[in-house]
Structure 1
Amino acid sequence: MQDQKEFFHFVETLHAENNKHNQVIGSGVYLYSFKFNPNISQEFYEGYLYFERDGQKVQNVAFVKVVGEHADVKAIEVFHRTRTAIDDVVLRPWTYLFSQQKDFSELPHDTELRKGIWSLCYDRFEHNLKDWTKLAKPKPKGIAYNDKLKLPIKTCDGRLNDFWRDSISELISGVGRIHSKGLYHGKLRLRSNYVFINECMKIINVEGSLDELKSDDERCTEKKKDIFDIFWMLDQVFQSLGENKNNWLECRHFFEFVKDSRTLKLRYDDFIKKVAGHPFLLSADKRINLFDDYECKRTDETTGEDIKLVLGSSEFDTFKSWNNAFLASTGTSTNVDNFMLGVYNHGKYSGDVEDLLRYLRNLKHHYHQHGLAAGSMVDVDRGLSKHFGGFLELLYKKLEV
Structure 2
Amino acid sequence: MQDDNDLKKEASREDSDILSIWWGNEIRNLLQTIKHIHSHKLFHMGLNKMENYVVVDDQIKIINIQSSFADLEDVENTTKLRTLRIDELKALRNMLKERILLPGVPWIDRDYFFVFFDNVKYEYPTFVNKLASHPFLLTHEKRMECFRNIVRRSTNENLDHPSEAVDTEVRRLYPNFLDEIYTIL
Contact 1:184–1:207, Cα closer than 8 Å, also in 2:
yes
Q: What amino acid sits opposite 1:317 in the alignment?
A: Y
1:317 matches 2:182: yes
Q: State the Cα deviation string for residues 117-159 of structure 1 (Å, max 9, x = none).
A: xxxxxxxxxxxxxxxxxxxxxxxxxxxxxxxxxxxx9862721
User: Per-residue deviation at 1:254?
Assistant: 1.7
* Partner Cα separation in structure 2 for residue 154 and residue 200 of structure 1: 26
Counterpart of 2:36 in structure 1 is 177
Q: 1:210 to 1:295 in 2, by over 3 A?
A: same
Q: 1:159 to 1:178 in 2, by over 3 A?
A: same
Q: 1:157 to 1:186 in 2, by over 3 A?
A: closer
Q: What is the root-mean-square deviation of aligned Cα atoms in Å?
A: 2.8
Q: Which has the higher helix share?
A: 2
TM, length-normalised to structure 2: 0.74
* Partner Cα separation in structure 2 for residue 177 and residue 293 of structure 1: 28
* Partner Cα separation in structure 2 for residue 227 and residue 198 of structure 1: 24
Q: What amino acid sits opposite 2:79 in the alignment?
A: D
Counterpart of 2:116 in structure 1 is 257
1:276 matches 2:135: no
Contact 1:297–1:304, Cα closer than 8 Å, also in 2:
no
Structure 1: tracts of 5 or more residues without a match:
1-152, 321-401
SS at 2:144's partner residue? Answer: helix
Structure 1 moving runs of 4+ over 3 Å: 302-307, 310-314
SS at 1:244's partner residue? Answer: coil
Contact 2:50–2:95, Cα closer than 8 Å, also in 1:
yes
1:232 matches 2:91: no
Q: Which has the higher strand share?
A: 1
User: Per-residue deviation at 1:236?
Assistant: 1.3
User: Per-residue deviation at 1:193?
Assistant: 0.5
SS at 2:48's partner residue? Answer: coil
Q: What amino acid sits opposite 1:276 in the alignment?
A: A
Contact 2:52–2:62, Cα closer than 8 Å, also in 1:
yes
User: Per-residue deviation at 1:286?
Assistant: 1.5
From the CA coordinates, give the structure whose radius of gyration is larger. Answer: 1
Q: 1:157 to 1:205 in 2, by over 3 A?
A: closer
Q: What amino acid sits opposite 1:203 in the alignment?
A: I
Counterpart of 2:56 in structure 1 is 197
Counterpart of 1:161 in structure 2 is 20
Q: What amino acid sits opposite 2:182 in the alignment?
A: D
Q: State the Cα deviation string for residues 366-393 of structure 1 (Å, max 9, x = none).
A: xxxxxxxxxxxxxxxxxxxxxxxxxxxx
Contact 1:196–1:202, Cα closer than 8 Å, also in 2:
yes
Contact 2:21–2:138, Cα closer than 8 Å, also in 1:
no
Counterpart of 2:80 in structure 1 is 218
Q: 1:308 to 1:193 in 2, by over 3 A?
A: same
SS at 1:272's partner residue? Answer: helix
Q: Percent identity?
A: 26
Structure number with higher relative contact order (C-alpha < 8 Å, ≥ 6 residues apart): 2
Contact 1:194–1:203, Cα closer than 8 Å, also in 2:
yes
Q: 1:292 to 1:201 in 2, by over 3 A?
A: same
Q: Which of 123, 144, 149 matches 1:288?
A: 144
* Partner Cα separation in structure 2 for residue 204 and residue 154 of structure 1: 33
Q: Which of 184, 187, 192 matches 2:46?
A: 187
Q: How many pairs align?
A: 161
Counterpart of 2:153 in structure 1 is 297
Q: State the Cα deviation string for residues 284-309 of structure 1 (Å, max 9, x = none).
A: 22201112211212321x34456522
SS at 1:186's partner residue? Answer: coil
Structure 2: tracts of 5 or more residues without a match:
1-11, 172-177
TM, length-normalised to structure 1: 0.36
Q: What amino acid sits opposite 2:153 in the alignment?
A: K
Counterpart of 1:91 in structure 2 is none
Structure 1 residues 1-400: aligned runs within 5 Å = 156=15, 158-213=17-72, 214=75, 215-238=77-100, 243-244=102-103, 247-258=106-117, 260-261=118-119, 264-300=120-156, 302-304=157-159, 307-309=162-164, 311=167, 315=179, 316-317=181-182
SS at 1:291's partner residue? Answer: helix
